Structure 1
Amino acid sequence: MIWLIVAAHVFVVVGFTTRILLRDDLSPPARLAWFVVLNLLPYLGSAVYFLFGEIDIGHRADKRHKAVFDGLKARAQGFMGTPDAADTLIGEVYRPAFHYAASINGFHPVSDNCAELLADEAETTARLVEDIDAATERVSVLYYIWLTDATGTAIADALIRAAERGVVCRAMADGLGSRGLVRSELWQRMEEAGVRCAVALPLKNPVRTVLTSRLDLRNHRKITVIDGTITYCGSQNAADPEFRIKAKYAPWVDVMLRLKGPVVAQNEILFLSDWLQATGEQFETLPLRAESVAGGFPAQVMGDGPTERRGATPQLFSGLFASAQEELILSTPYFVPDATVLEALCAAAYRGVAVSLIFPKRNDSWVVAAASRSYYRKLLSSGCRIHEFRDGLLHAKTLTIDGQVSVVGSSNLDQRSFDLNYENNMLLQDAAITCDLRARQQSYIARSDPVRHAEVLTWPRHERIWHNVIATIGPVL
């Protein structure tokens, strides 16, 4: 019996260790993190690796996603932009980043767009409901978190009204983040009213999902498209700022853009890629249009996820950081960067760029909070400025560069957004909207506490050890 136990132990540890060594897609820090876990907790570590160790949505799902998206792109070439667009539309120093974004899933910059930065969560909901109520053809919405609170119900009721007057309404919610909604009476009312409802990455058979994929591969996107002429992009889910499922961290502070122009079609293509994969619906002709706004700015969509190439998001952000000449301001609620992103931020600060980073003071994830603070000393030593937002959970994901280039969307700077989640972002070059976003970022900074280098050096040793331990195993979390 003892020999059987020893043999089983060796088989488990050696087997999973060999698998880790055979994987070319793992970074050295991630591989080392798994070695640490497997050696300290061999059986638990092996179970965790089996459940969460590999980023695989499943062969059939991966193949279906690629077929759907490739088919969409082939039929929508006129809306994807052209490969040389960045060379004429984007400033020279920022072109490499826009070219890189285009390489991820084929969306190139398109000109003649306009955007409006919405004041707050209440205005976003009011304007969104107003636009749905004015829709005459179609409405498409996708949320990671859709609650049955006042905001979630207001959006659902607007869709119901639109469907009842003949508007084609498509509503999609993530199977985990919106699990309460898809089992609710509100979801049923939407379906009964004629709203076409779908669940992204459903959890109908969790055991099968565990055996063939991962439970934590999620659709984290927030997309709204109305009549093919208006789109919303940013960090806000269909939920109240009070966010009752995690009320002690409230309010959630988000940022949203309302956009018009040809970039709307790109966001709709991204939505349709998820919709077609989930439903199998087919279109004889794609319901797309590209209405230009005279004198508008260039913009492009970037979508990432576990079916795209690994490392795309951190490489994109690193390219954007490298393009900064004078100033870089970033806000994100979840900051667990890989080496690519961390070094790019430090390099920007070392070469004289004014780098400002805004994080929540109280994070709803203690793991992320600890891992984030493990990087403070290095960032502050390089000259980055860190601000911790104290008035709720700053959920806004924003980047402004030199008062010219902006990025808003759903991506955080953590391993989940880098590897596990389907995300959507908007890249644009425009001084006016970037000025508005920068002013919003400055309002966040005004409501934040600065973190000083001298203060970090005085943190107790046990805190520093804890932060570094969590950061060490960060790639497996």
Structure 2
Amino acid sequence: MRASPARRLNKLDWLHAGMAWCQRGIMLILLVPLFACGLPQVRESDKPPSMALRVEEVADTQLGQTMRPLKAAHPGESGIMPLLDAYSAFAARMLLTHSAQKTLDVQYYIWRNDNTGILFLEALRKAAERGVRVRLLLDDNGISGREMDARLAALNKHPNIEVRLFNPFPFRTFKPLGFLTDFSRLNRRMHNKSFTADNMVTIIGGRNVGDEYFGATDGILFADLDVMAIGAVVDDTSQDFDRYWASASAYPLSVLIPAPSDEELQALSAAADKAEKTVTGQGYLKALKESQFIHDFIKGQHAFDWSKVELISDSPDKITGEAKKDELMVFNLARILRNPKESVDLVSPYFVPTQTGVDGFSALARKGINIRILTNALESTDVAAVHAGYAKWRKPLLQAGIRLYEMRSQVAGSGMAKYLGALGSSGSSLHAKTFTIDRSRVFIGSFNFDPRSAQLNTELGFMIESPGLAQQMEQAFKADVPESAYEVRLDENNRLYWLSYQDGVEQRYSVDPGTTLMQRFFVRILSIMPIDWLL
């Protein structure tokens, strides 16, 4: 039988498509040698040394005068203030940028070229115009596009601003090509987040810089958690920034990106004006002006929780694989988690425990330690592959007596969502990284309980000795998690099921709620693949 014209056309389409892909593959293979020349050499003159200012050098600043009596009243301690919603998190950073008089040290994994990202860049430029020294250290995997490169280059041209890119990609047009020739290096990233003003106040936590982290979008919002700190731990944070800033993996932007035109800095200001005038920008800035956080902070009505705070971070040498065991964050976290007395409550958006983690948590559970874990449900995660790395460990964890919760995507009105900053969005994805031990100690930072955070990326966080803050988290688990998340359980036949409680009504699901058969099939396939080390 002769094929129909449509049938013949379909075959020709497939043939043409196949030939096109072959051509692309051949071109890619031919281009690989061009991308194998590596990073440019950095001369001493390209990377002038700089350090955080000493406390006495910033004592006369506005922030210094405000914080000095507080620090004097609490020697050796640090004051902690949780930033419990997205608006407060943005407002606090903007307030510090406007208040700084001498230095701003800013370190992030992701910086979006969107409304909040542009507004922050413009705020840094204005600070530099006032004479503030700005050091901006960004992981190069977390910025994208020629437009963002041009804006950073324009900032870097300012005499009071220096931008460095951590573990950079040498070729800017299509950066992922770098993975073809230097995967082992580029697969390791700087995941740290810190924002420090005048070496007097710092903010650390899980948030990157972008609309989805600060409630400036109508789409998916990341439910996250930051803390603002003053006191002893601020100097520790500044010293940690200094070692990353000076590390061999921090490249001056000027050796990677061509010098900008004179118009680029003006273009940044124009982009900021446009961001403010957009519908999202107008509504967001209005909400910020009405933020209770701003009013309370200005009136001095915010009370800090004073306690012992330990900064824990990876050595930047982790990127090159040269860090010693005791210089790794996971080494210190293992020490902290080794001997809880009563309970561990853990929140991690990308929880991939591996066999080692399952064995460790199971051993604690056998000692009678009450362990509760909150992570993303499949319907709310933004990385399905990571969920696959977690899903295969659910049964062993539950069999050990550990309670598992998976955050739903539509939880904007719940208490836990408000606690973690998920306000006003059409959906949310958990992004906070925190755990509580014995209702007395709290960790808040960038560390996910997954192989990537443990072995590949650098991380930063605070271990806070604060019963008050720990009890807030414990109360959130007790009262709000059941309204915000599915509880995962095992039935009498050792099969998983999910329970949710909405307005006091219990619902039961036999498969991952809110997902399709194709999503579940995809996760199932990924879960049997040996990719945990990448997650």
**TM-score of the two chains, using structure 2 as the length reference:** 0.61
Superposed displacement of residue 321, structure 1: 3.0
Question: What is residue 191 of structure 2 aligned with on the other side?
Answer: 220
Residue 124 of structure 2 is aligned with which of 122, 137, 159?
Answer: 159
User: CA 1:453–1:300 in structure 2 vs 1: closer, same or farther (change >3 Å)?
Assistant: same
User: CA 1:195–1:440 in structure 2 vs 1: closer, same or farther (change >3 Å)?
Assistant: farther
- Structure with bigger gyration radius: 2
Question: What is residue 469 of structure 2 aligned with on the other side?
Answer: 433
2:267 is aligned with 1:297:
no
Question: What is residue 323 of structure 2 aligned with on the other side?
Answer: 308
Superposed displacement of residue 322, structure 1: 2.7
- How far apart are the structure 2 equivalents of 1:316 and 1:385? 25
User: CA 1:438–1:226 in structure 2 vs 1: closer, same or farther (change >3 Å)?
Assistant: farther
- How far apart are the structure 1 equivalents of 2:384 and 2:324? 29
- How far apart are the structure 1 equivalents of 2:133 and 2:307? 30
Secondary structure (helix, strand or coil) at the match of 1:323 reads: coil
Question: What is residue 410 of structure 1 aligned with on the other side?
Answer: 446
2:305 is aligned with 1:340:
no
State the number of aligned residues: 368
Residue 384 of structure 1 is aligned with which of 374, 378, 402?
Answer: 402
Bigger proportion of residues as helix: 1
Whether contact under 8 Å (1:121, 1:236) holds in the other structure is no
2:397 is aligned with 1:357:
no
Counterpart residue identity of residue 451, structure 1: V
User: CA 1:317–1:413 in structure 2 vs 1: closer, same or farther (change >3 Å)?
Assistant: same
Question: What is residue 98 of structure 2 aligned with on the other side?
Answer: 133
- How far apart are the structure 1 equivalents of 2:305 and 2:490? 45
Question: What is residue 474 of structure 1 aligned with on the other side?
Answer: 532
Question: What is residue 197 of structure 1 aligned with on the other side?
Answer: 163
Deviations 1:68-97 (A, max 9, x none): 99x999x99xxxxxxxxxxxxxxxxxxxxx
Superposed displacement of residue 267, structure 1: 1.1
- How far apart are the structure 2 equivalents of 1:181 and 1:134? 31
Residue 170 of structure 1 is aligned with which of 122, 135, 148?
Answer: 135
User: CA 1:439–1:204 in structure 2 vs 1: closer, same or farther (change >3 Å)?
Assistant: farther
Whether contact under 8 Å (1:331, 1:441) holds in the other structure is no
Gap regions ≥5 residues in structure 1: 1-50, 52-56, 77-109, 282-292
Secondary structure (helix, strand or coil) at the match of 1:199 reads: strand
Question: What is residue 33 of structure 1 aligned with on the other side?
Answer: none
Superposed displacement of residue 439, structure 1: 4.1
- How far apart are the structure 2 equivalents of 1:444 and 1:243? 22
Question: What is residue 14 of structure 1 aligned with on the other side?
Answer: none
Secondary structure (helix, strand or coil) at the match of 1:122 reads: helix
Deviations 1:219-261 (A, max 9, x none): 11111111111111100001122799x997x211110000011
Whether contact under 8 Å (1:148, 1:186) holds in the other structure is no
Gap regions ≥5 residues in structure 2: 1-31, 33-37, 55-74, 254-302, 412-427, 498-509, 513-519
Moved more, 216-225 or 234-243: 234-243
- How far apart are the structure 1 equivalents of 2:146 and 2:459? 21
- After TM superposition, list the pairs within 5 Å mapping 1:253-268 onto structure 2: 253-268=223-238
Moved more, 320-329 or 206-215: 206-215
Secondary structure (helix, strand or coil) at the match of 1:241 reads: helix
Residue 202 of structure 2 is aligned with which of 231, 237, 255?
Answer: 231
Deviations 1:106-142 (A, max 9, x none): xxxx931110011211111111100110111100101
2:496 is aligned with 1:456:
yes
Question: What is residue 389 of structure 2 aligned with on the other side?
Answer: 371
The percentage of aligned residue pairs carrying the same residue is 23
Moved more, 164-173 or 361-370: 361-370
- How far apart are the structure 1 equivalents of 2:95 and 2:223? 22
- How far apart are the structure 1 equivalents of 2:126 and 2:325? 41
- How far apart are the structure 1 equivalents of 2:434 and 2:532? 23
Deviations 1:31-70 (A, max 9, x none): xxxxxxxxxxxxxxxxxxxx9xxxxx99x99xx9xxx99x
